[in-house]
Amino acid sequence: MRYWLIFDIETIPDAELGRRWLKAGLDQPDALVRQAMLDARRAETGHSDFLKPPFHQIVAIAAALIDESGDIRRIGPLGQADDAEAVLVRDFFHIVEEVKPRLVGWNSTAFDLPTLIYRAMRHEIAVPLFYRIGEPYHSYRKRYDEELHLDLMDLLSGYGASARVSLDEAALLLNVPGKMGVDGHHVLELYETGALERIRQYCTHDVLTTTLVFMAYAFHRGWLTREERDRLWLSARRWVWDGPDDLWTPFREAWEWFPR
């Protein structure tokens, strides 16, 4: 059976790497180093403080595993809130190597997947099978091939031929919940205050939103029949309404405003 794995990561600036980049003193608090990294990046670009992928430390990964009939087999954050980055990265690649799914993300070609690879290299995590899945014709790293990796933001824009839209904008188009009071700009603040479970919740919500956008594309593309699309919709609803309140209450309340 073929599976789709919809995934997302949340990150903060890597203070240890930042100290070497900025030649900051070892006694500088992590929070000050992270802010200095953002300030330096904004000065470098003139407009954005978004760091290059290697400088991001992954603090949460969430994923949804969907089978070919449209059932969500699993959705939620990987690991535990206090897991080290290396554990999260190793778990992600272990799932990919074991299940061999088609990966689906939002801006995953430019950010999520490169960041996961850079951080795996940093932690000396070998994933040779990841690069062999689909050989000789397909690869998770091939940009214009929808067989193993779909970056929905990239491909829906015609790979940059038209303006790329945000996940929130795609959610508005399709009448499904998008961002709910938290976005990527809040992750560092949440991390600094110890709100790791809130980060994991936000990451999971983005995965479900991406799943619902994927559902529309997969039906449009002919990968899902109308019956399978409706099955996926109902499966998502069951996860939200039957799942734990601490994870799903905000999404449940938002979805009430988006009747199908």
pTM for this model (two decimals): 0.96
Q: Could you write out the DSSP letters of every residue in the chain?
A: --EEEEEEEEEEE-HHHHHHHHT--TTS-HHHHHHHHHHHHHHHHSS--PPPGGGEEEEEEEEEEEETTS-EEEEEESS-TT--HHHHHHHHHHHHHHH-PEEEESSIIIIIHHHHHHHHHHTT---HHHHHTTTTT--TT-TT-TTTEEEHHHHHTTTTTS----HHHHHHHHT-----S--GGGHHHHHHTT-HHHHHHHHHHHHHHHHHHHHHHHHHHTSS-HHHHHHHHHHHHHHHHHS-HHHHHHHHHHHTT---
Domain ranges across the chain: 3-252
Q: Please list the pLDDT of the chain residue by residue as tens digits (260 residues).
A: 789 999 999 999 999 999 999 987 778 899 999 999 999 999 999 999 999 999 999 999 999 999 999 999 999 999 999 999 999 999 999 999 999 999 999 999 999 999 999 999 999 999 999 999 999 999 999 999 999 999 999 999 999 999 999 999 999 999 999 988 788 889 999 999 999 999 999 999 999 999 999 999 999 999 999 999 999 999 999 999 999 999 999 999 999 876 55
Fold annotation for 3-252:
Nucleotidyltransferase; domain 5 (3.30.420)
